Structure 1
Amino acid sequence: MTGSTTASTPRLRVGIVGCGNISRNHLEAFTSLGNVDVIGVCDVDITRAQATATSWNLTHAVDSVDALLALGLDIVSVCTPHPTHEEVVLAAAAAGVNVLCEKPIAVDVASAERMANACAAAGVKLGVLFQRRFWPAARALREAIDDGTLGAPVMGQVSVLLHREPEYYSADAWRGTWANDGGGVLMTQAIHYIDLLQWYMGPVSEVYGAINTFKHAAHIEVEDSASAVLKFTSGAIATLIASTAANPALGVQIRITGTTGATAELSEFPEGSDGRITIMAAGDTVTSTPAHPAGALANVGLANINAALIPHHREQIAEFVHAVTHSHDPAVTGEDATNALRILLAIYKSARTGEPVRFAPFPTNVPTAPDAVVARLDSITPVA
């Protein structure tokens, strides 16, 4: 197992930056590992840092990143609001400390690239939390691509239909703002599934998207709903819809069809539960289970979602510790996280400009239409 330890495995000293909701998952994961000592926590609110340290029986609670790094760390875990990630990561890299950062890696690509470059120059690992890659079912879908069951992906569909009440945004002042959250459903929720989509389908060549706010306009300034068409450098195409305005929530479905004609669907319902393969269709066989099991609670609170994800945080964090102790790249790198960020920011840009955003050429096999059909297509004009 990747995260296993032996008697010869060195002990690592870990610090946590940010003592908000998600820090619990990191603390649970790190303290479960036999070769890790969590030395202390840091928060701009020293009272919150001290309360966290007391709850977890930790020695140190500080209110600055420099003070935490001065404790002599091997790994720092970044659990702060999105736009603050860069400052923490750059400080850690300068101190020669490996970094595990919550998603999204940043709120702009230039910032993400600076973070990745700084860690590479310092010779430290940079990992980013996309714990849903560690679902057994998510790996099984990846294996179905790699072993030829699906073949190379040619079509993808992602549906992210989630539920949030106004209190979700009002509980933390930074949520739902462009400056401090960086975006809405795409930045905070759908980025997990954008990461899975690019993991399955490869590099994106072009994005065309739209965003709107249907339910939460009175209390957020970002989008609560989005849709996009994505083209990939392989020639594959995919669609994405995402919303926090659904009631009840329908969770997440990711469907991949490959060159063999086979299709697999990965479902997460309710939100935070383990992903499951709900459709596997290959040859003459269709195997399916309900994507929405009867009796499941559809609308799940944030605390319950985070708690349900602890096992997968634990597995990714164990893998990151293994990467540090055995000098290999983590499963989810800064480059991976930057690619996911680039895709979602392209949706925002396309929504603003009304134009597709292109990163690379898209190889097409568009059937050649006769002149009469071309004439009909060329006759289409926008409505004034």
Structure 2
Amino acid sequence: MEKIRTAVIGCGKVADAHAHSYQNIENAQLTAVCDVDEKRARAFAEKYGVHAYTSISEMIRKEKIQVASVCVPHPFHAKTCVEAADCGCHVIVEKPFSVSRKDSLEMIAAGKRNHVWIGTVFQRRFYEPCRRIRKAIDDGKLGNIVLGDVTMLGWRDKVYYDSDPWRGTWKGEGGGVLPTQACHQLDLLLWFMGSELTEVYGVYKNYNHPYIEVEDTAVAILKFANGAVATITASNAQDPAQYGKVRVHGDNGASAGVQTDGGAMFISGMSSITEAPYNDLWGVKGEENLLDQWKKEDEEIFFQNDPTEYYHQLQLQDFVNAVADNRKPLVTGEDGLKSAELIEAIYRSSRSGMPVKLPLEEVEA
């Protein structure tokens, strides 16, 4: 079997999930890593027994890299992705895909002009309860989706924001709870709703994190092209944390929901995922009694694996297979654009005090 040669760009906290995943994917080979900090790159490379680089282009050229994971801080996602794509490499970018619609479009354009795939990491799409909802929608069990909601009530403390100098800043992180924590739930909402966004009204605030610049709380109302509506409540201001949930409702009266994250994930610092995701709402006629069975099955999968790496590996496996089979990955750069544009729309709406139409118009810097 010919293995796809892979690399990790950026050797920070999330890079381990990518490196471990590539080493566990049968048709992939972790070949090299790259970081602007040579000392960090060498230490990370030694840990995984691969070569270290500080130049993306040199690494891709010398090591013949076919797939690269971008794990650098948020504001550098676009530059790094474009550079790798321009070297002829397929690229999968950690969430959030970018910090703006403009950056997202540049990343997607780089993929098209170089004939390479651009993907983004939304590994919660690979959670069994989330795939169950998507399949029910595809099978018509909920009718047309007309209403959706996201509720994410979490917590991040000062230890978390002090863990990296770029965290909690507009320049370094590009935002707060929306791009860094709630982006997973926002992506699921858009995936489930299945229609294009047309209008967003939003408000963001910082209620109890005076040591950061960005928002710890945001709410929004969304309108879609097919007439559907949705709401978002996202906050990192609840101590102890509560949960992250996404729910959708169809015009036939059926509903489905998933608790993607339990409170333990959000308690403090860089805590691990310790609570299994599960379907907390299922109103499909004739299937209401399946919740307990599904929860047991989902917990068995969850606790038999390291969930942080397990779901990353599922998505990276799909991306590697997409490259090998010359097919579109299940999560694309266009999906990343949708969530980035939603977040930017909430920010613009809050600053103007008015709803904003989508697609967004470019604004002068």
Q: TM-score, normalised by structure 1?
A: 0.84
Deviation at 1:153, TM superposition (A): 0.7
C-alpha separation between the residues in 2 aligned to 1:236 and 1:164? 32
Match of 2:231 in 1: 239
- Equivalent position to 1:209, from 202, 210, 215: 202
Q: Which residue of 2 aligns with 1:170?
A: 162
Distance change (3 Å), C-alpha of 1:244 and 1:288: farther
Q: CA deviation at 1:339?
A: 0.8
Displacement, 1:93? 1.5
Once the two structures are TM-superposed, the CA of residue 235 in structure 1 deviates from its matched residue by 0.5
Q: Which residue of 2 aligns with 1:355?
A: 354
Structure 2 residue 34 is matched with structure 1 residue 42: yes
C-alpha distance in 1 between matches for 2:244 and 2:29: 36
Matched, 1:226 2:218: yes
Q: Are the counterparts in 2 of residues 159 and 242 from structure 1 also a CA contact under 8 Å?
A: yes
Instruction: Indicate the residue corresponding to 2:249 in structure 1.
Output: 257
Give the deviation of 1:289 after TM superposition.
6.1
In the alignment, the residues of structure 2 paired with residue 340 and residue 252 of structure 1 have an alpha-carbon distance, to the nearest angstrom, of 17
Aligned equivalent of 2:102, options 101, 110, 122: 110
For residues 181 and 120 of structure 1, what CA distance do their matches in structure 2 show? Answer: 27
CA contact (8 A) 2:97 2:336 kept: yes
Return the offset for 1:287: 4.5
Q: How does 1:359-378 map to 2 (within 5 A)?
A: 359=358
C-alpha deviation, 1:269, in angstroms: 3.5
Partner of 2:174: 182
Q: Deviation of residue 84 (structure 1)?
A: 0.6
- Cα distance in 2 between the residues matched to 1:284 and 1:129: 34
2:260 corresponds, among 268, 272, 287, to 268
Q: Distance in 2 between matches of 1:237 and 1:197?
A: 11
CA contact (8 A) 1:279 1:288 kept: no
Shift of 1:285: 7.0
* 1:74 and 2:73 matched: no
**Greater helix share, 1 or 2?**
2
Give the superposed CA RMSD.
Answer: 1.7
Matches within 5 A, 1:1-384: 7=1, 10-58=2-50, 60-71=51-62, 72-201=64-193, 202-217=195-210, 219-270=211-262, 271=265, 272=273, 273-283=275-285, 286-287=288-289, 308-359=307-358
Q: Which has the larger radius of gyration?
A: 1
Amino acid at match of 2:97: I
Matched to 1:278, the amino acid is D
Q: What is aligned with 1:300?
A: none
* Contact kept in structure 2, 1:79 and 1:101, CA below 8 Å: yes
Q: Distance in 1 between matches of 2:181 and 2:168?
A: 12
Q: Give distance in 2, aligned partners of 1:39 and 1:185.
A: 34
* 2:150 alignment partner, SS class: strand
- Aligned partners of 1:287, 1:267: CA distance in 2, in Å? 17
1:204 maps to a residue whose letter is L
Offset from partner CA, 1:6-50 (integer Å, 9 cap, x none): x4xx31111110000000000111000122221111111111111
The 2-side partners of 1:325 and 1:285 are apart by 38
Q: Which amino acid aligns with 2:55?
A: S
In 2: Cα distance, 1:132 partner to 1:230 partner:
21
Judge conservation of contact 1:281–1:287 (CA < 8 Å) in 2. no
**What residue is the counterpart of 2:299 in the other structure?**
none
Question: Deviation of residue 70 (structure 1)?
Answer: 2.5
Report the residue type matching 2:96 in the other structure. P
Q: Which amino acid aligns with 1:210?
A: V
Looking at structure 2, the residues matched to 210 and 234 of structure 1 have their Cα atoms a distance apart, in angstroms, of 24
1:86 and 1:106 in contact (8 A); partners too: yes
Q: How many equivalent residue pairs? A: 335
Q: Structure 2: how far apart are the matches of 1:289 and 1:142?
A: 16
After TM superposition, give the deviation of residue 274 of structure 1 in Å: 3.8
Deviations 1:184-234, CA, capped at 9 Å, x for gaps: 0001011111111110112111100001011112x1000000000111111
5+ unaligned residues in a row in structure 1: which ranges? 1-6, 294-306, 361-384
Rounded Cα–Cα distance in structure 2 between residues aligned with 1:359 and 1:55:
45
1: distance between equivalents of 2:154 and 2:280?
18
CA contact (8 A) 1:207 1:356 kept: yes
Please give the alpha-carbon distance, in whole angstroms, between the structure 1 residues aligned to 2:75 and 2:6.
Answer: 22
Alpha-carbon distance in structure 2 between the residues aligned to 1:212 and 1:288: 39
Task: Tell me the percent identity.
Answer: 38
